[in-house]
Structures are given as C-alpha cells and as structure tokens.
Amino acid sequence: MNAVIDTPTPDFTAIKQRQQATWASGDYAAIGTTLQIVGETLAEAADVRADEAVLDVAAGNGNATLAAARRHAQVTSTDYVQSLLDKGRERAQAEGLNVQFRLADAEALPFDDASFDVVLSTFGVMFTPDHQTAAQEMLRVLRPGGRIALANWTPAGFIGRLFKVIGAHVPPPVGVKPPSLWGTEPHIVELFGAQAANIRCERRLFNFRYRSAAHWVQVFRQVYGPTHKAFAALDAAGAASLERGITALLDELNTAQGSLVVPSEYLEIVVTKA
C-alpha cells in the first residue's frame, strides 16, 4: 500500500512578507535602471498607444512605466515596496511624465474589472508566490481584447541559473513554484491560455555589462535584494562559497575579454485577452 505524502500548503502571506522585505533591502533601483531597454522593447511588443490605460504590475522603479508614459499612454504604476515607487516617481517627474503611482499587491490589485487596455510587467510579477492568483488578477483588470505583456527570466538563462546557485546555499520556501517558471511557454499557457485569444512568446537577451565578475558580485551583493539577503543569511564560509559559485557562473557565461558581458535570456510574452 502506497503511503500518502501530505504536502503542506505554503503560507503565502508569510512568504510575501519576507519577499517584500527582500526587495526593500539593498537598492534595487540601482540595478533596475540598467534594465530600461527591456521596458522599451516590451512597450513596443505590446504596441502601447497614446491615451491607452496601462497598468504596470510589480513595477519596481518603473522601467515599463516610463516606456509606456513616453508613448503618451495613461499609466498607473504599482508595486508593494513604497521606496521603489518613490524612485519611479522621481524618474517620471524628471521627464515631466504624468504617471499615477499606487502601492498595490500584484495578487490583489485594487482596480475594477476591465479597467485597463494594457498590463505590463518586467521581471516583476514573476516573483509573486501564488502564480495563478497573480495571473488571474492581471486578466481580471484587463478589458476583453486587451494585452498583457511580460518579460520574465528563463530557467536556462543566466538569472535562472543564478537563482539555482543561490538556492543551493539558501533554500527557497517549500511548496512555492520557482519564479523562472514564468519564463517557460507551457507555464504561460497554463496560467493564461483559458482566457487568451492569442499568446505570443519570443526569447530575447539582456546583456549584463560590468567591469568584471568581482565587480558584478560587489554590486549585486550590495543592492540586489535576493543576493543581498542571501549573503546576509550565510556565515563567512557560506558567503565565500556562494561568491565562488556565482563567480564561476559569470566566468562561464562571459562573452567579453577585459570586462564582463553576460547575456541573460528572458521570455517576452504578449497575451491577448479573449
């Protein structure tokens, strides 16, 4: 007789609180600004047009927000970390862009059904612990015929592999699906397919450009929440081991000589709601 294994249901509230603290630590905006080109590319993929109502979910410091606002859309930028929204507001004000900023949980968006023409997220919503709820919320606030456009790191790309290196030293929460699943076509179809008229996925590369592997580790250890918290959770020996693991990965993937250029694969997704 086979034994029944009882898998505990993850405490999403507690996990989310820890995640929120992680992203509030360090200074993600220092990394986020280097990813601006992804926001611009995603806005083009989504065909963002003037005067459309656009929602940026888990916006961080506002890369997709700014890209949509530059195209004269009516943009609402949301995140659950106030300090990141403040950075996005500063960037929008510097360019004279009219953007609404609102503190919001991607799994409980404070908007009416069918409120937006376009929903965007660059490397944001993929980190929600409850994938299905986050996907359903984006679909709920989107009008029929509207577009959801996402940029998500893939499991086989640099950031996906980085998370595996980190997870070997600081295990992720039990029962939570890995964020990089959002970078796979089958998972996207599972999340959105039932309510989609069309799903288009394209693999793209973002190049991390730093002086060296040591420079990358120094910056990400200081300011990128997941690596910042991972190093802080380890003793000296564990931190040294994690640094060696990350450095080896960077060296393996570096395509440059005399500096660091690491291509990182992500999946660009455009879902048209039925």
Residue 47 lies in a domain: yes
Residue 1 lies in a domain: no
What does DSSP say about strands 260-273 and 196-210: parallel, antiparallel, or unpaired? antiparallel
pLDDT tens-digit readout, 19-58: 877 887 778 889 999 999 999 999 999 999 999 999 999 9
On the question of pLDDT at 2 being above 80, the answer is no
Q: Please tell me the distance from the alpha carbon of residue 131 to that of residue 85, in angstroms, as a whole number.
A: 22
On the question of pLDDT at 18 being above 90, the answer is no
pLDDT at 106: 97
On the question of pLDDT at 197 being above 80, the answer is yes
Q: Please tell me the distance from the alpha carbon of residue 60 to that of residue 84, in angstroms, as a whole number.
A: 5
Contact 122, 55 (CB under 8 A): no
Q: How confident is the model at residue 174 (pLDDT cuts 50, 70, 90)?
A: confident
Q: Quickly list DSSP for 129-181.
A: S-HHHHHHHHHHHEEEEEEEEEEEE-TTSHHHHHHHHHHHHSPPPTTPPPGGG
Q: Distances from the Cα of 216 to the Cαs of 27, 101, 198, in angstroms?
A: 14, 31, 38
On the question of pLDDT at 222 being above 80, the answer is yes
Q: Please tell me the distance from the alpha carbon of residue 180 to that of residue 126, in angstroms, as a whole number.
A: 7
pLDDT at 271: 98
List b or e across 84-97, with b for residues whose CB sees 16 or more CB atoms inside 10 angstroms.
Answer: bbebbbebbeeeeb
Report pTM. Answer: 0.93
Residue 133 lies in a domain: yes
Residue 223 lies in a domain: no
pLDDT at 133: 97
- What six digits make up the tokens of 230? 């991972």
Provide the H-helix boundaries in 1-109: 12-24, 28-32, 36-45, 63-70, 82-94
Residue 167 lies in a domain: yes
Counted domains in the chain: 1
In angstroms, how far is the first alpha carbon of the chain from the final one?
46
- Domain range holding 50? 14-207+264-273
Residue 189 lies in a domain: yes
CA dihedral 30, 85, 133, 273 (to 10 degrees): -90
Residue 169 lies in a domain: yes
Contact 91, 30 (CB under 8 A): no
Q: How confident is the model at residue 178 (pLDDT cuts 50, 70, 90)?
A: very high
CATH number of the domain enclosing 79: 3.40.50.150
On the question of pLDDT at 3 being above 70, the answer is no
pLDDT at 132: 97
Q: Please tell me the distance from the alpha carbon of residue 188 to that of residue 201, in angstroms, as a whole number.
A: 9
Computed over every residue of the chain, the mean pLDDT equals 94
On the question of pLDDT at 208 being above 90, the answer is yes
Residue 23 lies in a domain: yes
Specify the residue for token string 């611009």: 40
On the question of pLDDT at 1 being above 60, the answer is no
Q: Please tell me the distance from the alpha carbon of residue 234 to that of residue 194, in angstroms, as a whole number.
A: 43
